[in-house]
């Protein structure tokens, strides 16, 4: 009788389904996976070490680059930890703006996940649809911060500036006729809030479109139902959070359980799965997008009727306005000190976490009283998820591995840090 041996296969780091730079060493028995050994760290940039050598304000842009598909949420966890240590209050309008942009970010993240996951499993169209909507949301990012992705918009004590009164419009160029420009600018006539409101009215229809393409699709179901099942007990033990945990039927959402900012005033549901397979996690994330849209609408309604400051008046932490700086000596000194030496955080330690689209994203800062953190630890949600890959793929076929990587919503920026 012929001897049958397992064989070892290398997957990635350059592979379209590896979501970046994931290298897997697979031990295969025919086409059935026996063991997966993920090799990570190919995108390791030592963000935590870099942050130890920079002032707090200088580290905020590094946070954008961690999970580069949900940029503002990363900043949010970081500034929340600083605010906790400094015991400063954030103005209510800034809290609403943060919640608004957190939910925009959640939709951005879930759209990329949906497109990439569907593309891995074999559906091309969803990817194109999802990127069409992402474009509008990037424009919102750009309108408030000037950057389409790496915004650095959240600052300790609030947000960098108030929402603009006028949504930037397309301008006539040699590539676009004035007629095309007119159609592109139809929903950009008012303020940024009008633009987001228009988007939030259109968005449920888009989610219906994606669902028409996937939810009852036979191929999609064959590829996801019963794949990568995680029991609730294992999900908790393995450190899973976010949709990975909720897909297994555990109702746990920091926005509800440990509310931060103004989430306690928001009306939304927490979608929970039942089976803990890839299909349930898909349904959870789809429902989350609809819930995020509801929260966005509530934020817009509040922001349109209320005004106020968007950053703390405490000039030891937040910069004074340009006008004050030009007229007032003390403000000028504050500005100079803030952007050269930076603010100091009294000795202590704190951990603050947000409900990131992928799970619990937290930062842990140890300060020894200096203008730089003594130690910054970033708790990335994807890290324990990827660690569980071996367990989730046990006994599955090689093609299912791709579906499981997709369902984990892997982004290497946060896993490797």
What is the binding site for other proteins (CB under 8 A)? 40-41, 44, 46, 48-50, 53-55, 58, 84-87, 236-241, 250, 252, 257-258, 316-317, 340-351, 353, 360, 362, 364, 366, 368-372, 374-375, 377, 379, 383-384, 386-388, 391, 416-417
Q: How many residues does the chain have?
A: 417
242 closest CA partner among 46, 411, 393, 12: 411
| CA 246 – CA 258 distance, rounded (Å) | 16
CB-nearer residue toward other proteins: 228 or 342: 342
Cβ 239 to other proteins shortest distance, Å: 3
Chain centroid offset of residue 202 CA:
22
Q: 292-302 as b/e, with b when 16 or more CB fall inside 10 Å? A: bbbbbbbbbeb
Of residues 50 and 286, the one with the C-beta less far from other proteins? 50
Report yes or no: 240 and 230 within 8 Å, Cβ to Cβ. Answer: yes
Q: In the bound complex, what is the minimum distance in angstroms from residue 318's beta carbon to other proteins?
A: 11
Among residues 289 and 338, whose Cβ is nearest to other proteins?
Answer: 338
* Burial bucket for residue 389 (CB in 10 Å: 0-12, 13-18, 19+): buried
| Closest of 224, 263, 255 to residue 392, by C-alpha | 224
Q: Provide the token pair at 181.
A: 């420009």
DSSP state of 187: G
State which residue, 281 or 385, has the beta carbon closest to other proteins. 385
Rounded to a whole number of angstroms, the minimum distance from the CB of residue 55 to other proteins is 6
Are the CB atoms for 103 and 110 separated by under 8 Å?
no
Q: Which of 148/344 has CB closer to other proteins?
A: 344
Largest CA distance in the chain: 91
Cα separation, 232 vs 195, in Å, equals: 40
For the bound state, the minimum distance from the C-beta of residue 298 to other proteins, rounded and expressed in Å, comes to 24
Report, in Å, the least distance between residue 333 CB and other proteins: 11
CB of 344 to other proteins, least distance (A): 5
Of 115 and 362, which CB lies nearer to other proteins in the complex structure?
362
Q: Which is nearer to other proteins, 32 or 366 (CB)?
A: 366
Cα separation of 385 and 402, whole Å? 14
Question: Buried b / exposed e across 8-32, counting CB within 10 Å, b at 16+?
Answer: eeebbbebebbbbbbbbebebeeee
Report the nearest approach of other proteins to the CB of residue 272 (Å): 13
Residue 369 CB, shortest distance to other proteins, in Å, is 5
Residues 88 and 182 sit within 8 Å (Cβ to Cβ): no
**371: number of Cβ within 10 Å:** 17
State the nearest-atom distance from the C-beta of 294 to other proteins, in Å.
24
What is the DSSP secondary structure assignment for residue 374, as one 8-state letter? S
Locate 38 and state its tokens: 């993920």
Nearer residue to other proteins within complex by CB, 53 or 269 = 53
């Amino acid at each position: 009788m012929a001897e049958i041996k397992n064989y070892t296969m290398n997957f990635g780091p350059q592979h379209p389904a590896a979501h970046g730079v994931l290298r897997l060493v697979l031990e295969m028995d025919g086409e059935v996976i026996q063991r997966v050994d993920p090799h990570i760290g190919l995108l390791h940039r030592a963000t935590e070490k870099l942050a130890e050598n920079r002032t707090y304000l200088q580290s905020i842009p590094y946070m954008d680059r961690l999970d580069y598909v949900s940029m503002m949420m990363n900043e949010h966890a970081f500034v929340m930890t600083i605010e906790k240590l400094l015991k400063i209050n954030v103005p209510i309008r800034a809290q609403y703006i943060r919640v608004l942009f957190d939910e925009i970010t959640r939709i951005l993240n879930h759209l990329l996940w949906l497109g990439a996951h569907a593309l891995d499993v074999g559906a091309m169209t969803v990817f194109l649809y999802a990127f069409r909507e992402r474009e509008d949301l990037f424009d919102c990012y750009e309108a408030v911060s000037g950057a389409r992705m790496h915004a650095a918009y959240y600052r300790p004590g609030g947000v960098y500036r108030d929402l603009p009164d006028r949504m930037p419009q397309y301008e006539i160029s040699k590539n676009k006729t004035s007629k095309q420009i007119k159609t592109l600018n139809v929903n950009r006539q008012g303020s940024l809030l009008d633009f987001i409101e228009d988007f939030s009215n259109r968005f449920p229809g888009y989610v219906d479109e994606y669902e028409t393409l996937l939810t009852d699709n036979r191929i999609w179901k064959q590829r996801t139902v019963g794949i990568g099942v995680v029991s609730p007990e294992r999900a908790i033990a393995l450190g899973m959070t976010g949709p990975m945990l909720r897909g297994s039927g555990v109702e746990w959402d920091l926005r509800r359980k440990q509310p931060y900012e103004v989430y306690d005033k928001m009306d939304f549901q927490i979608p929970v799965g039942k089976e803990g397979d890839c299909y349930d996690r898909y349904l959870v994330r789809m429902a989350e997008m609809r819930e995020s849209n509801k929260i966005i609408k509530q934020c817009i309604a509040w922001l349109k009727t209320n005004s106020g400051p968007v950053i703390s008046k405490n000039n030891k932490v937040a910069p004074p306005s340009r006008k004050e700086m030009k007229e007032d000596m003390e403000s000028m000194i504050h500005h100079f000190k803030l952007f050269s030496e930076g603010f100091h955080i009294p000795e202590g330690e704190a951990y603050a976490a947000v409900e990131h689209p992928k799970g619990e994203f937290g930062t842990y800062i140890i300060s020894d009283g200096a203008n730089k953190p003594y130690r910054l630890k970033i708790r990335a949600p994807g890290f324990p998820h990827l660690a569980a890959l071996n367990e989730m793929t046990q006994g599955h076929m090689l093609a299912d591995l791709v579906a499981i990587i997709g369902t984990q919503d892997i982004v290497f920026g946060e896993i490797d840090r």
